[in-house]
Structure 1
């Protein structure tokens, strides 16, 4: 996207260095603070007006000084444009091109909306320091969240990614509190009051404003040193928490210091800062934020309590820590030129984050996990007309929050995985290292990355990758069998199965990866580079499969006969192949290019499957069927029976008891199978879940519910129970001290089937007893609950003012709530009602999400109308009804 097409600040001033001082923090009441920012700048064109970004900041004075410190002029007029989030300073005389210092005095507010410089409330684990801010029942910590456009919420600045500068930062805080920033502490001195101190930090490298960060709180930390030496010394890696929680940071610390060393080796560039801090933040909209040298995390993404935490969170922590540390190079050292190339940051950090986890924890089989979770989620969003290209035009930076989505992260990383597999991982990483070295401390584009990879591989990466990045959607490869050969044809895949000719213009480069032979020993790595091609010498009487290990980002459409043959040869398939086969069959059933009968027949063959990640794909495919067809009682009953007969024998075989040193994947499989069987009506599972729940409630067996089975046992009891079970889990939500306990309880509460409890649940979710970061989790849980999801929509309509007031301060949370809370319906009338309701609303924070919602509902409704009768006939013929 050309610079002329962007809505950016006037090109008359270039920042070089910021000197920021914050003081007089009101730690309670108004939560106001004062600040002075001095910006060493280059005036590139003569002007009498300077425009910066500013939001919810009041500038009292703006002066310009020469490099010699002599005052040149002072703003005679200060005006604000709230819509574009800018402040303009008009000066009485023209400023000629030169080096100057723009000095501003301003005031701001430490808000409570998880954006800018904000406060997080929490209940301390131990008695906090006396000067820890407190209001009511809660204590507070302070931290920042500036990506993408919220540095301007903390101080006036040139808030665009390619306007890089260095930063000096200091802040006045209570003496008993710890202050952190991107760099190490330079000095401390007395503050304006005997109880205060001023903490100054070393100068940062050249970086974008969105990567600046600071935090203040009653902190403690655990520390490890890197094994590698950097400039002759090991680097301290610390995880900070509020007091009483640091021991829960041990696992994240173990991951972090090893990952810093690993990436220094992989990227061939040493970690560039003198320290690496990670900070657990009690209220956090995203999962984490890659601020250079001070990465901030949601507590569940960095804290793990052995004996209390679900082991699934260990997997999450390892990945999120690696993802954010990857950004220290890819994003921070080298930054995208503009927000349309956000994928450069997020897609790459996602792929290389999993690369690091696989390196340290190969027994977790994370690339199969990536295929089951990452690739499939990317497929789902990208199969909608409402999708967008990986590299999406962003005219105004204020639009960018809505593209922090599965396309930028998961399709981006899926395409990188495809490219890495094609070039060879070593070659790919060598090209990445060259890219980072060439653009260190600067900005770069997608083309710059392709150029580096082309040079490393001696291939024209531009030509075959550009359609994947710049065009919307992805292909389905349809396989037709002919004597002695197969023909393959690519077309754009839409979940509605009705791509029009003008929507099917793209010809993608598609690595076919054809596995064949009796033992799968033959792999044909040729690519499909035209719309149609013929492949000779494929033995159809033996075995073949397209898209080895689901390396390529495309669906494959086989004939029903070939799909059935593949289903009878599961022992020849890799875990990724099985996941891809199920995912493709499910998606093609939705689009009408395959059938639900073929899908169900395929799934029947997986009764003996023992891999958790394959079962994860089976579970999600059945869950979607049960969701779409939930309105037809006969079909719903048949699908429930189908799920029961598939999952119950496996659940019974794996049992309830955890063995010492049981591997991670087995632990997750037990939880999944017990949940599948229980929610499908397995009486033995339900009886056992109720027995354990009762022991837990009465206190006669607090250990009756294993920490890894809380979500399942709570959910089964709330789903099949009434007010008593619901209230018990709600009480647990309020009192739990388990770091993951609130997320688990909230999801379980959303399984209630009683209208009165649904109302209570939503009132609870929108009260201040539930952190705003978790509100969308409540919506997701109810949206998945087909028996009451209509009540969620009715509640939203009836209580819109409350919903909007609670969510509108944070666009990320608002967008997620709308997208995830409303997209499960399979009724055109509901879609029309949603469209009508939002017609007169300001939907700017979630307009893209709303298009996705309506597109998803249309897809589900068409699938339901087309297949409802056919799926009933299949279920009836196979004795499930």
Structure 2
């Protein structure tokens, strides 16, 4: 699963920690557990406290039973085409699904109860059988009906340790409208004016089970360590195709209405990876020798070639991973499917990877050239999971970073291998570094590997799917690879994957194998000791270097400078100066520690964390800062590209934490008037956005916009010949920066930019549906033209959104509609999000997020979210809160946010609201302390500029 952005998608007690990995065959498990449990007494039932107490229930399943295989039959009764019959008041559609399952398990400790998970299912007809004697054991089913989701099968006879048993259950449930479990997705095929053609609307069923929704599909041992193999059969409408994790074993017509598709057995895997779809989709096949790779999508999209790009790179990415890991992909087939609805953007189900169609499909001449980068990164992320997550899985959700951090880290290398022209490595690193830095600077952050007992409920589990697990996980792995060397690191992860193939791990297992590779390389680093602070502590350090004394010390970096912290890390410090090459020292203590290497001569500057290989910020004494900023303004190329961006990022964030004067941070942007590279500009835009959010409702906004117009004018003119002629440069980094130039110039009122956007949009409106705006530039030009326009431009964009069949174009227009400054239009747009015929549920959160980030729409969106929380939060409550709270900087807004947390059922968004409360407190104090200084600085920089 990718990090959402959005995405982030979000996500704490257990009474006993996992102490044993379940490995080996049945005999080994029996021996192991008998050693641990010398007296084979029946396992007591988990205790459920009386309602008069506030103690939480036991959230983890007992370990008395070990599942080995499931045989499951599913029958979705869904019709893919809705038929309105004469004299019938309702159409033929039904959202029922039925099925039955038989789970075969081994007993390792005597028990009178079978505990598994079930949620929102009607379960019946239990049949427990002793597989060794073929005797039936009488039983009854009891559902506990609380947050544990426990389904208890109470037995008349004890299940004995060492025995093999099976449990049959019939079940039924409803196909969900809310993108969870087995869910409904709809789309239009053929005539877009489908009111005249009821058969044009199609329905499909698809699953999304991560992290705890397998229990919505069938009763199961729904914990990642309880792996099993799955024999799956789907009964589905005869004119549909069923896809599953494994290859089809047989597909036969049952009668005039139904077809039965039976799949080969899956690899041994966790329940959250089970997947199937039932649809009328067609496919395009990729060329690959050993694995049959198919990409499925709407027939119309396949026929138009929209899946061709994804299909062309999937085999190459799979081949890259097979070579670097030296382990072949486990299955004979790999299906990818572009779904009209899905939350999150994609899901790594073993053998059946699901995607939001807009994130997988590419339309030549309509989609941005840069969209290929997003498609490649997403496929690379999901395919990396076939090893990290599917083949080798974390023991419990508290260490989901072992899945997501690795997939994020490895996808960088895969994309670089198959699409080197994208040149994304530096961009990818900086993006993840800054995302992690932002969230991990709050006292309400969490470690990469928090204690398992802190991550128990579904909301707590979902909360682990955040920037820490994804982005910090990737950056910490990159830092370790830099310390031990990529050769040693890659050798270690290959041994790790081979050793734990089909099993579950924790971070200590990873350190053991990196250590083995390190020892074979005759190095002496203690990997576990080095990495423990980075994974078991929240946050990250800022190191401060005094180039006058050579002293260096560390402390935890926090935006809230009043929070005390005694944490420390073992920090590898790569550094250079303007007169010497790079070298490395280590900081093991809090300090101060003196290093002669850091004493600079007159005019010499020291620069630490070269190429941002370490997960830490760097502060310097005032003299060294001034020398670095002077270097940037005179010849910025003497400083490595990534560090040009990072110097800006460090300066602004150190100023936010009151470790540096805010004017020095602002001074770090002066060199941008001569800078043409993407990374420094992207870093500056990201950081100046905080100033925009804090001050665009105040008198600071006028001189701030004037300063940004002055700084961006050179960059805008650098690309102007391309932009005015609606073309783009060949270099991908330059393509990104051209978009930056337009966004900054237009949003800050550069007249020539606004004139260009209005002209190109007007030409489209007046050209009888011929759109000559370059696909790369459409999103930003649409936005700026709608922002500068009124009702006519907004309604033109809305009608184009409704009529467009291209997902990329629809996404660009959907975002542009949120850019208007007309409050009544924004209010209308918010109301549209309540109608799934206008805005799909999966798009609701991102639409409201965009409106909330608009200064004209922020208050509207905040009121709207509170009025309609139950519905709008289904598409991503955490994203909604992140959008509307980003400007909060007053005591009144803080109190409103605190009331919201107290009064609403926030579910997985609770932690995001806590983060927003903490950030708002930081914002209030920061604005109070810096507003006058910031105003004076911008006024001084624009004294001769009209604003």
Q: TM-score range by the shorter chain?
A: over 0.9
Question: Residue 410 and residue 53 in structure 1: after superposition, are their counterparts in 2 closer, same or farther (change >3 A)?
Answer: same
> Is residue 368–residue 775 contact of structure 2 (8 Å, CA) maintained in 1?
yes
DSSP 3-state at the match of 2:428: helix
Structure 2 counterpart of 1:7: 59
DSSP 3-state at the match of 1:512: strand
Moved more, 48-57 or 531-540: 531-540
Structure 2 counterpart of 1:644: 709
DSSP 3-state at the match of 1:295: strand
Structure 2 counterpart of 1:590: 656
> Is residue 76–residue 95 contact of structure 2 (8 Å, CA) maintained in 1?
no
The 5 A counterparts of 1:524-673 are: 524-532=583-591, 533-538=593-598, 539-540=600-601, 541-569=603-631, 570-633=636-699, 635-655=700-720, 656=723, 657=725, 659=727, 662-673=730-741
> Is residue 728–residue 735 contact of structure 2 (8 Å, CA) maintained in 1?
no
Question: Residue 99 and residue 537 in structure 1: after superposition, are their counterparts in 2 closer, same or farther (change >3 A)?
Answer: closer
What is the alpha-carbon distance in structure 2 between the residues aligned to residue 707 and residue 152 of structure 1? 43
> Is residue 693–residue 704 contact of structure 1 (8 Å, CA) maintained in 2?
no
DSSP 3-state at the match of 1:804: helix
Moved more, 468-477 or 106-115: 106-115
What is the alpha-carbon distance in structure 1 between the residues aligned to residue 354 and residue 191 of structure 2? 22
Answer yes or no: is 1:25 the counterpart of 2:85: no
Of 533, 537, 558 in structure 2, the residue corresponding to residue 494 of structure 1 is: 558
What is the alpha-carbon distance in structure 2 between the residues aligned to residue 760 and residue 164 of structure 1? 49
Alpha-carbon displacement from aligned partner over 1:383-436 (angstroms, at most 9, x marks no partner): 111211111234415121111100000011111111111111111011000101
Question: Residue 523 and residue 63 in structure 1: after superposition, are their counterparts in 2 closer, same or farther (change >3 A)?
Answer: same
Q: Which runs of 5+ in 1 are unaligned?
A: 227-232
> Is residue 124–residue 141 contact of structure 2 (8 Å, CA) maintained in 1?
no
Structure 2 counterpart of 1:522: 581
Structure 1 counterpart of 2:164: 99
Moved more, 409-418 or 594-603: 594-603
Structure 1 counterpart of 2:54: none
> Is residue 280–residue 302 contact of structure 1 (8 Å, CA) maintained in 2?
yes
Of 298, 317, 338 in structure 2, the residue corresponding to residue 259 of structure 1 is: 317
What is the alpha-carbon distance in structure 1 between the residues aligned to residue 227 and residue 315 of structure 2? 28
Of 333, 348, 357 in structure 2, the residue corresponding to residue 299 of structure 1 is: 357
Of 491, 506, 522 in structure 2, the residue corresponding to residue 430 of structure 1 is: 491
Report the CA distance between 1:739 and its aligned residue: 2.0
> Is residue 289–residue 295 contact of structure 1 (8 Å, CA) maintained in 2?
yes
What is the alpha-carbon distance in structure 1 between the residues aligned to residue 677 and residue 15 of structure 2? 49
What is the alpha-carbon distance in structure 2 between the residues aligned to residue 207 and residue 338 of structure 1? 14
Moved more, 556-565 or 267-276: 556-565
What is the alpha-carbon distance in structure 2 between the residues aligned to residue 186 and residue 692 of structure 1? 55
What is the alpha-carbon distance in structure 2 between the residues aligned to residue 869 and residue 660 of structure 1? 41
Question: Residue 751 and residue 660 in structure 1: after superposition, are their counterparts in 2 closer, same or farther (change >3 A)?
Answer: closer
What is the alpha-carbon distance in structure 1 between the residues aligned to residue 437 and residue 445 of structure 2? 10
Alpha-carbon displacement from aligned partner over 1:62-119 (angstroms, at most 9, x marks no partner): 1012326945034334334242222222233333342111111111222121111111
Moved more, 580-589 or 62-71: 62-71
Q: Which runs of 5+ in 2 are unaligned?
A: 1-12, 18-57, 80-91, 520-524
> Is residue 75–residue 90 contact of structure 1 (8 Å, CA) maintained in 2?
yes
Structure 1 counterpart of 2:84: none
Structure 1 counterpart of 2:435: 377
> Is residue 189–residue 198 contact of structure 1 (8 Å, CA) maintained in 2?
yes
> Is residue 281–residue 298 contact of structure 2 (8 Å, CA) maintained in 1?
yes
Structure 1 counterpart of 2:136: 72
> Is residue 241–residue 281 contact of structure 2 (8 Å, CA) maintained in 1?
yes
The 5 A counterparts of 1:189-588 are: 189-191=252-254, 193-226=255-288, 234-246=290-302, 247-393=305-451, 394-398=454-458, 399-458=460-519, 459-482=525-548, 485-500=549-564, 504-518=565-579, 522-532=581-591, 533-538=593-598, 539-540=600-601, 541-569=603-631, 570-588=636-654
Question: Residue 680 and residue 125 in structure 1: after superposition, are their counterparts in 2 closer, same or farther (change >3 A)?
Answer: farther
Of 911, 925, 937 in structure 2, the residue corresponding to residue 848 of structure 1 is: 911
DSSP 3-state at the match of 1:703: coil
> Is residue 383–residue 474 contact of structure 1 (8 Å, CA) maintained in 2?
yes
Answer yes or no: is 1:177 the counterpart of 2:248: no
DSSP 3-state at the match of 2:673: coil
> Is residue 831–residue 858 contact of structure 1 (8 Å, CA) maintained in 2?
yes
Structure 2 counterpart of 1:788: 857
Alpha-carbon displacement from aligned partner over 1:12-48 (angstroms, at most 9, x marks no partner): 2211100011126243633102101011111233333
> Is residue 718–residue 725 contact of structure 1 (8 Å, CA) maintained in 2?
yes
What is the alpha-carbon distance in structure 2 between the residues aligned to residue 748 and residue 255 of structure 1? 30
Report the CA distance between 1:567 and its aligned residue: 2.6
Question: Residue 679 and residue 123 in structure 1: after superposition, are their counterparts in 2 closer, same or farther (change >3 A)?
Answer: same
Answer yes or no: is 1:779 the counterpart of 2:848: yes
Answer yes or no: is 1:163 the counterpart of 2:229: no
DSSP 3-state at the match of 1:732: helix
DSSP 3-state at the match of 1:717: helix
> Is residue 50–residue 90 contact of structure 1 (8 Å, CA) maintained in 2?
yes
DSSP 3-state at the match of 1:846: helix
What is the alpha-carbon distance in structure 1 between the residues aligned to residue 508 and residue 918 of structure 2? 32
Of 770, 774, 792 in structure 2, the residue corresponding to residue 724 of structure 1 is: 792
Of 694, 703, 721 in structure 1, the residue corresponding to residue 762 of structure 2 is: 694
DSSP 3-state at the match of 2:594: strand
> Is residue 67–residue 105 contact of structure 2 (8 Å, CA) maintained in 1?
yes
What is the alpha-carbon distance in structure 2 between the residues aligned to residue 777 and residue 692 of structure 1? 26
Structure 2 counterpart of 1:47: 111
What is the alpha-carbon distance in structure 2 between the residues aligned to residue 773 and residue 400 of structure 1? 21
DSSP 3-state at the match of 1:215: strand
Answer yes or no: is 1:111 the counterpart of 2:170: no
Moved more, 444-453 or 704-713: 704-713
> Is residue 127–residue 167 contact of structure 2 (8 Å, CA) maintained in 1?
yes
DSSP 3-state at the match of 1:513: strand
DSSP 3-state at the match of 2:908: coil
What is the alpha-carbon distance in structure 2 between the residues aligned to residue 71 and residue 699 of structure 1? 78
What is the alpha-carbon distance in structure 2 between the residues aligned to residue 396 and residue 308 of structure 1? 45
TM-score by length of 2: 0.87
Report the CA distance between 1:148 and its aligned residue: 0.3
Q: How many residues align?
A: 856
The 5 A counterparts of 1:86-165 are: 86-97=150-161, 98-124=163-189, 138-165=201-228
Answer yes or no: is 1:878 the counterpart of 2:941: yes
What is the alpha-carbon distance in structure 2 between the residues aligned to residue 109 and residue 610 of structure 1? 55
CA RMSD between the two structures: 2.2
> Is residue 300–residue 313 contact of structure 1 (8 Å, CA) maintained in 2?
no
Moved more, 365-374 or 309-318: 365-374
Structure 2 counterpart of 1:829: 892
> Is residue 845–residue 872 contact of structure 2 (8 Å, CA) maintained in 1?
no
Question: Residue 356 and residue 269 in structure 1: after superposition, are their counterparts in 2 closer, same or farther (change >3 A)?
Answer: same
Question: Residue 127 and residue 12 in structure 1: after superposition, are their counterparts in 2 closer, same or farther (change >3 A)?
Answer: farther
The higher-RCO structure (CA 8 Å, 6+ apart) is 2
